[in-house]
Structures are given as structure tokens and as C-alpha cells.
Amino acid sequence: MSITAQFALDSYRAAQHGEPQLPAPGSYDRGLLEELRDAPRVPVRKPHGRLLTRLLRGRVA
């Protein structure tokens, strides 16, 4: 079942039960992308020590 068909079915069921209609698929995508763009980035820490570096690179048996 496609997203559009599922949305139509859910909207029909909500109307039959007197519940509020669900938002259309993709209606919040733009706001979400703007939030992700504006979110502060967490700095990446470098590993300390040779053993940890080798473990992360998969060189330790």
C-alpha cells in the first residue's frame, strides 16, 4: 500500500470516528530540515593512544 493510499484510509477512518484528520505526508519535512540545518554541531573528538586508534581501524586481532 502506498503512503498516499494509507493516508486516504487513515483520513477516512478518522472522519468515521469523529477524530481530527492527520497531517498530510511530508507536511513537516521543510521545518525538520531547517531544524537540522540550524542545530548546533557536536565536535568530534580524536581517539587517544595507539591501542584505541588500532581498535577503531580494525587492526587488532
Q: Is the pLDDT of residue 42 over 70?
A: yes
Q: Is the pLDDT of residue 9 over 90?
A: yes
Of 52 and 14, more confident: 14
Q: How many CB atoms lie within 10 A of CB 54?
A: 12
Q: Is the pLDDT of residue 55 over 60?
A: yes
Q: Is the pLDDT of residue 43 over 70?
A: yes
CA 49 to chain centre: 34
Q: What percent of the chain has pLDDT over 70?
A: 90
What is the structure's pLDDT at 12? 94
